Amino acid sequence: MENLVLQALSGLASASSLFLVASGLTVIFGVSRIVNFAHGSFYMLGAYLAWTFVTTLPRGHLGFWGGVLAAALLVGLIGVVVEVLLLRRIYRAPELFQLLATFGVVLIVQDLALLTWGAQDLLGPRAPGLRGGTEIFGMRFPDYELFLIGVGPVVLGLLVLLFRYTRWGTLVRAATQDREMVGALGVNQRMLFTSVFFLGAFLAGLGGALQLPRESVNLHMDLAIIAEAFVVVVVGGLGSLTGAALAALLIGELHAFGILVLPKITLVLVFLVMAVVLVVRPHGLMGKATGPAHGGAGGAEPVIGPAPRPLVHLGIAALVAALVLPPFAGDYALSVLTEIAIFILFAASLHLIMGPGGMASFGHAAYFGLGAYGAALAAKWLAAPMELGLAIAPFAAGLFGLIFGWFCVRLSGVYSAMLTLAFAQIAWSVTFQWVEVTGGDNGILGVWPEPWAAPKLVYYYLTLALCLGATLLLRRIIHAPFGYALRAQRDSALRAEAIGIDAFRIRWLAFALAAVMAGIAGGLFAYAKGSVFPTFLGIPRSVDALLMVLLGGVQTLSGPIIGALAFTGLQEQLVRITDLWRLILGLVIVALVLFFPQGLAGAARARWEARRGDA
Amino acid sequence: MTAWVIGRRQILAGAGAVLAAPAIGRAQGDVIRIGEINSYTAQPAFLLPYRNAWTLAVEQVNAAGGVNGRRLETVFRDDAGRPEDAVRLAGELVNAEKVHLLSGGFLSHVGLAIADYANQNRRLYVASEPLTDALVWSRGNRYTFRLRASTYMQCAMLVEEAAKLPAKRWATVAPNYEYGQSAVRWFKELLGRARPDVTFVAEQFPALGRIDAGATVQALAAANPEAIFNVTFAADLTNFVRQGLTRGLFERRRVVSLLTGEPEYLDPLQDEAPENWIVTGYPWEQVNTPEHASFRDAYRRRWNDYPRLGSVVGYDTVMAIAAMLRKTNTTDTEAMVEGMKGLQFQSVFGPVEFRAIDHQSTMGAFVGRTVLRNGRGTMADWRYADGKNYLPPDDVVRALRPQS
């Protein structure tokens, strides 16, 4: 019994830390609708800066608490810089495009932190006055954890007061409800957004700084916290502070007690919670259904017409080059081209649900990975030849696409995207944990092509044929009646239903189709690499796909192709040239975002249309 | 547009390689190229000292006239912790950079991916760091050799000490991935064999890098074990130790802990390093054998820093490769593989042999207990455990490793 009380207290302390980070994220999202990937970086910077201040300032209460506060304020200012220089310029860009920008910031901060603070983990001093422990039921409980348990509710209370009883708070709440209307009433939106961003970054920095007496400061803090912070925000209901508090409490306590029963549950617990909550409550615990996520009611996306003639010529030229030149390329160039072809299909499959479908997915790698695992498991357990493995891949992915998709497409916007992430993480944890069947994190080795396809050139042509065929099929589908229906339900679900389109079924089928296509790409990838690992289903791979689509431009058909080419090519080249590839890649992404807010293909189209004088 | 540009660039690169081929052919007489793949950006704490020592070793070999008159040259690549990228880079190193052999690997799954590539493409792969037993046993292959003492070996070293403790009730805590799982499995199996009277009363498997230390410590304390076997490392270890110290988990309990004596993991703990844990590690400031002293001095001169365990691994990987090349005097893969089998060389820790039976080196580790000295953790009462004494009998190894 005493043990359980202490376990509950431990859960409360974790919940409190989690809430601090999540509160900033939810405040930022509520007003600006930005999926701020860099929030984890703010958290990490808060911890590092606090370490620097606290270890330089004189010891004692002033040095410690002053250092923590200074770090949080400085992170708030860094947030302002990011907002003013970067995000402010792209609020009008398509939904989720800001995610690309904040991801660039993540990459930049990772390298800058390494350059500034070095590779070794840092240990901050303990908090003065809170070094020891207090006896509770005959067991010692750290004072600092008790302090943290208090901090969470205090911050929540202050935030609630701030939003309820100040003019600024009222404006923020109004902007959360309807930001166009607030602008129409003459409120300076720029100041409002900037100040909200300051508050959000400040809270993230504070969350990081307060971890100093508790945890080591290291370069993995940013990505370790970001997924969990998002889960808390979404489970709580986007933009809802009390919801975030409730969700943090739920996750903290489930975690503390879950490990007593199932120690290995830590891998997947938060995502299981999120999946259950979102299936039962599509807008989180405390969230409300919001209006249309983008562009106000009836704001249709641009119509996709047939490709203009120069583009067709360009496509044919690229195709000819892709067919004729490879025999003259070396083995390595061939394997890069193979990879690019695979990623083009992978990005194109995600584009089907993101562009014409109007749904986002943060977990598209699940289907890529399930395709790869389908092929690899068939090879391992059934000794299936490559041809059969490649045929199984789309079925495996498609089956799970049907199952997961049925739940995901009922939701909208970021909730739907986060549910796809939850399912992807559950699939990932199964491949990771089910060692007897999947080989766990050591993966499945020896998935090599049949002898006839083993030469790199043959495998390249095989990949090109399948990926190109599938990509062209996707293009055809978008122009077919099914594609029109898909776009109709995206632009106005209500009107689409009125003319007899079953929006749910259309979305569901599109989701499954995208999964099938990603499965083909995954199967090809498995045989290209010779081995399959849980990383194929991991969050970074999903993020890669998202970046490719956003970089190319969501609302053009050639976008994913160009995005995949640019991203894969850029990364492949940079990794070989420099150790600081993350910094440079991040800067390039930020620059591209600033100069091409419609994506690369979107920008090309805009120029083309401008020169032609009309659309 | 972009399609064509990239296509053209690849072609040009390809054409460049073709044009450059005669040059490489000429250069082959002078230079031996090693392709080194590691997770440099993902694991910098271990791999920066590793690369420093690697550079030092190559400089030393070349200053002494190279290997049989040929200079060593290294092409470094960063896999960012992704096995699929490591495979691509292995292809790049072999096909575009024309390296003669592959080396490196920190994470186990990355090591396995490169090993499988090496096997498929018949290239020599000298794995430096990945600890997984699978690399040389269940998934071992002809072309892969591993330098560092494996999970099994380090567990066996600790079990020897753990068996001497009076403790009967044990708990384990390990990161939830292959390394943590196999460490716990071996520890349970080997300790159970040495001491049939012990029982395991609790186990915790926090996710790697994301330990909820408070709850984990509390859960372990609730089971009230007499001793704890710890496998967590890096940030997880720091957080675990901090919570454990404040909550009194380690009082009146012995802790046996893998890798904790390595400077990479002990130094970040500063004056909060736990005392009296039985650990494997590397007391760099106390090992004064001539081989080690000269390595330490050279490293300090070159980098103005003290060596970490990663430095030893990087340095000895180069020295092992150089010794093999001296022995074979060719860069033909099959000859190099034969040369690696049974290769003996003088490592920083003493004589080491790459066993012909399973391609595992006999490099050992230091076993001792942790103490605080001058406000930082270090090891005391340590001894060097030679790896050759901590491997299973040959017939067991043959059963573990696919025989072809």
The average pLDDT across A198-219 equals 95
Q: pLDDT per residue over A8-65, tens digit each? A: 999 999 999 999 999 999 999 888 888 899 999 999 999 999 999 999 998 888 999 9
Residues 350-379 of B with CB under 8 A from A: none
**Candidates A123, A256, A445; nearest CB to B268:** A123
Name, in order, each residue with C-beta under 8 angstroms of B384's C-beta and a sequence gap of 6 or more. B287, B349, B350, B364, B365, B366
Residue A40 lies in a domain: yes
For residues B304 and A299, the model is more confident at B304
Mutation target vs B (from A9, A264, A266, A581; most B CBs, 10 A cutoff): A266
Whole-angstrom Cα distance, residue B270 to residue A292?
A: 54
Number of domains present in the structure of chain A: 2
Kindly state the helix (H) or strand (E) to which residue A532 belongs, with its residue range.
strand A531-532
What's phi and psi for B72, nearest 5 deg?
-90, 140
Residue B121: alpha-carbon gap to chain centroid: 24
> How many C-beta neighbours within 10 Å does residue A184 have?
9
Contact B247 A339 (CB under 8 A): no
The pTM for the full model equals: 0.91
Partner A contacted by B250 (CB < 8 A): no
pLDDT band at A131 (very low <50, low <70, confident <90, very high): confident
**What is residue A299's predicted lDDT score, i.e. its pLDDT?**
54
Confirm if B219 and B247 have CB atoms less than 8 A apart. Answer: no
Single residue among A265, A280, A295 that ends a domain in this structure: A280
Residue A330 lies in a domain: no
Contact B246 A144 (CB under 8 A): yes
Domain shared by A425 and A531, yes or no: yes
CATH number for the domain harbouring residue A360: 1.10.3470
B116-119 contact pairs (CB < 8 A, 24+)? B116/A445, B116/A446, B116/A530, B116/A531, B116/B141, B117/A530, B117/B87, B117/B90, B117/B91, B118/B90, B118/B143, B118/B144, B119/B143, B119/B144
A552: left (phi over 0), alpha (psi -120 to 50) or beta: alpha
Single residue among A249, A264, A280 that ends a domain in this structure: A280
What's phi and psi for A502, nearest 5 deg?
-80, 90
Residue A118 lies in a domain: yes
Domain shared by A253 and A349, yes or no: no
Residue A336 lies in a domain: no
Q: pLDDT per residue over A374-400, tens digit each? A: 999 999 999 999 999 999 999 999 999
Domain shared by A145 and A244, yes or no: yes
Domain shared by A368 and A252, yes or no: no
Nearest to residue B88, comparing CAs of A107, A522, A338? Answer: A338
Domain shared by A404 and A498, yes or no: yes
Contact A575 B210 (CB under 8 A): no
Contact B77 A216 (CB under 8 A): no
**What is residue B167's predicted lDDT score, i.e. its pLDDT?**
95
Dihedral sign computed on CA atoms, order A469, A475, A476, A481: positive
Q: pLDDT per residue over A290-340, tens digit each? A: 654 443 344 567 677 777 788 888 889 988 999 988 888 888 999 999 999
Name, in order, each residue with C-beta under 8 angstroms of A613's C-beta and a sequence gap of 6 or more. none
Contact B218 A10 (CB under 8 A): yes
Q: With contacts defined as CB-CB under 8 Å, which chain A residues touch B205? A: 263-264, 266
Residue A324 lies in a domain: no
Domains of chain B, each with CATH number or no CATH: 2-149+288-364 (3.40.50.2300), 152-286+365-394 (3.40.50.2300)
Kindly state the helix (H) or strand (E) to which residue A139 belongs, with its residue range.
strand A139-142
Per-residue burial over B215-242, b if 16 or more Cβ lie within 10 Å, else e, is bbbbbbbbbebbbbbbbbbbbbbbbbbb
What's phi and psi for A396, nearest 5 deg?
-60, -50
Domain shared by A110 and A228, yes or no: yes
**What is residue B404's predicted lDDT score, i.e. its pLDDT?**
65
Q: pLDDT per residue over A478-497, tens digit each? A: 999 999 999 999 988 889 99
A135: left (phi over 0), alpha (psi -120 to 50) or beta: beta
Domain shared by A519 and A593, yes or no: yes
Q: pLDDT per residue over A339-370, tens digit each? A: 999 999 999 999 999 999 989 899 999 999 99
What's phi and psi for A190, nearest 5 deg?
-60, -50
Q: With contacts defined as CB-CB under 8 Å, which chain B residues touch A566? A: 2
Contact A576 B10 (CB under 8 A): no
**What is residue B29's predicted lDDT score, i.e. its pLDDT?**
58
What burial class does residue A63 get, using C-beta atoms within 10 Å of its C-beta: 0-12 exposed, 13-18 middle, 19+ buried? middle
The average pLDDT across B69-98 equals 93
Domain shared by A419 and A274, yes or no: no
Contact A123 B3 (CB under 8 A): no
Residue A318 lies in a domain: no
Could you report how far apart the first and last alpha carbons of chain B are, in Å? 50
Residue A326 lies in a domain: no
What burial class does residue A305 get, using C-beta atoms within 10 Å of its C-beta: 0-12 exposed, 13-18 middle, 19+ buried? exposed
Q: How far is CA A442 from CA A44, A355, B52, B107, B148, in A?
A: 29, 36, 28, 10, 18
Q: For strand A139-142 and strand A133-136, is the pairing parallel, antiparallel, or unpaired?
A: antiparallel
Residues spanned by the domain of A39: 2-280
Per DSSP, the three-state class of A378 is: helix
**What is residue A290's predicted lDDT score, i.e. its pLDDT?**
61
**pLDDT over 80 at B24, yes or no:** no
**pLDDT over 80 at A519, yes or no:** yes
Q: Assign 3-class secondary structure to chain B.
A: CHHHHHHHHHHHHHHHHHHHHHHHHHHCCCEEEEEEEECCCCCHHHHHHHHHHHHHHHHHHHHCCCECCEEEEEEEEECCCCHHHHHHHHHHHHHHCCCCEEEECCCHHHHHHHHHHHHHHCCCEEECCCCCHHHCCCCCCCCEEECCCCHHHHHHHHHHHHCCCCCCEEEEECCCCHHHHHHHHHHHHHHHHHCCCCEEEEEECCCCCCCCHHHHHHHHHHCCCCEEEECCCHHHHHHHHHHHHHCCCCCCCEEEEEEEECHHHHHHHHHHCCCCCEEEECCCCCCCCHHHHHHHHHHHHHHCCCCCHHHHHHHHHHHHHHHHHHHHCCCCHHHHHHHHCCCEEEECCEEEEECCCCCEECCCEEEEEEEEECCEEEEEEEEEECHHHHCCCHHHHHHHCCCC
In one letter, which amino acid is A381? Answer: W
Domain shared by A359 and A455, yes or no: yes
Residue B21: alpha-carbon gap to chain centroid: 35
Single residue among A280, A295, A320 that ends a domain in this structure: A280
Dihedral sign computed on CA atoms, order B85, B87, B91, B97: positive
Residue A297 lies in a domain: no
**What is residue A23's predicted lDDT score, i.e. its pLDDT?**
95
Q: Considering only A41-50, A124-133, A286-295, B221-230, which range has the smallest mean pLDDT?
A: A286-295
